[in-house]
Structure 1
């Protein structure tokens, strides 16, 4: 999973990145504090670590901006520890608060708890993804078009799930392979191609051979 770090102290930022990387997290550290939302949109992190005191705009501002477009969990990290700071953090849409200085193990524990709570809840609330007549059942991992059904392998399911969750956007081959690696499906470029071909054959059996389109040099897209 990917964690975005919005922290202007380079020493703390590097320490956090190092700790997260050791635990297997991918990190996206902000260094341009005028482009926080642009980077957020490009990186699509699973969680945001957000300082309060930042250049340009403070953490409360960025929290409200993120909350306007996403329900991603936000963990505030700050040396400010007054009750008002903590109340503001929660009222602006933050999910938790950790005071500096903190032990890296405590930070990791809070991150894991937030991720577990957020994504387990989301999975429990969502049983299917549907778009343009095609339904992906998240419980049995199969595709449906009306009464017709196509069984998917685990790898095909991960690919289809990502493409359907990001319908209308191009998903790069690199991003697809990264998601498969995170799911412990260790694929290379050729294996990804084979799985895309198989997915298209199964969609063709459902009468939707054109459901996944290729964007040359960019990736794949469900429109």
Structure 2
């Protein structure tokens, strides 16, 4: 049974989420003390976290960042405010998906099911090779890092999944639809700029590790991992 940690200070919303998700076979734990979220996360070891942004003491971005420092567990952000800036900030702090309040329970369930399948279930990739190396850059699926001889960068779950697809396809073009279908279970629930924001983050990390690779936008089609100046 997959475990979900619900970090939501509005008790009615937390209770409704728990009741609905448990009808579909999930085991849910609701956080009660909003100063010890990381300790609770370590204690129950959930498969997924639903994280509200507006919390007492520290906000959801803070706790997402703390969780991401030690786990690739999917984090779904729950918030009434989800402007483009909020989404970018959420992704930068480890969020994998977003749910806007007020929300439909069907959308919540679809997003949760998608994350579980992609990360643990029927769509989770089983591969023998846990590293991919293209030119001077290595993607390690176990440590969730991109490395060169000069430096290394950690990745979020979505960045890792995108990076793996691009590395496997090198040097071929991958369409936006292929990326969305491979990483998000149903792209109709994905904010339009979510993929673009994750690609932008990957580009920045490739530059920071002084990689010989770059991600090129193929207008109207998708993205292509290439050697620089090629």
**TM-score (structure 1 length as normaliser):** 0.55
Q: Does 1:112 align with 2:113?
A: yes
Whole-Å separation in 1 of the counterparts to 2:128 and 2:32: 35
| 2:104 corresponds to | 103
Cα distance in structure 1, aligned partners of 2:107 and 2:28 = 18
Secondary structure in 2 aligned to 1:124?
coil
Does structure 1 conserve the Cα–Cα contact (< 8 Å) formed by 2:80 and 2:102?
yes
2:126 is aligned, of 124, 127, 131, to: 124
- From the superposition, tell whether residues 90 and 126 of structure 1 become closer, same or farther in structure 2 (CA, over 3 Å): farther
Contiguous gaps of at least 5 residues in structure 2: 131-230
Deviation at 1:123, TM superposition (A): 5.0
Distance 2:129 2:17 in 1: 35
Structure 1 residues 26, 115: closer, same or farther in 2, change over 3 A?
A: same
Query: Aligned with 1:3: secondary structure?
Result: strand
Residue 127 of structure 1: how far off its partner (Å): 8.0
Q: For residue 65 of structure 2, what is the aligned residue in structure 1?
A: 64
Q: Deviations over 1:69-117 (max 9, x none)?
A: 1000000010012111111111111100010011111100000001111
Aligned residue pair count: 128
CA RMSD across the alignment: 1.7
Q: Select the structure that is richer in helix.
A: 1
| Aligned equivalents of 1:27, 1:9: Cα separation in 2 | 16
1:104-156 deviation digits (Å, cap 9, x = unpaired): 1110000000111112565514689xxxxxxxxxxxxxxxxxxxxxxxxxxxx
Alignment of 1:67-216 (within 5 A): 67-120=68-121, 124-125=126-127
Q: For the Cα contact (< 8 Å) 2:48–2:116, is it kept in 1?
A: yes
Which residue number corresponds to residue 55 of structure 1?
56
- Cα distance in 2 for partners of 1:12, 1:88 equals 24
Partner residue of 1:133? none
Q: Deviations over 1:29-78 (max 9, x none)?
A: 10100110111011000000000100010000000000001000000010
Equivalent residue of 2:120, what SS?
helix
* Higher-Rg member (1/2): 1
Q: Retained in 1: the 8 A contact 2:117–2:124?
A: no
Q: Cα gap change, 1:39/1:126 in structure 2, threshold over 3 Å: closer, same or farther?
A: farther
1:49, 1:124 → 2: CA distance? 26
| TM-score relative to the length of structure 2 | 0.53
- 2:4 and 2:126 map into 1 onto residues whose CA distance is 22
**Whose RCO is larger (CA < 8 A, sep 6+)?**
2
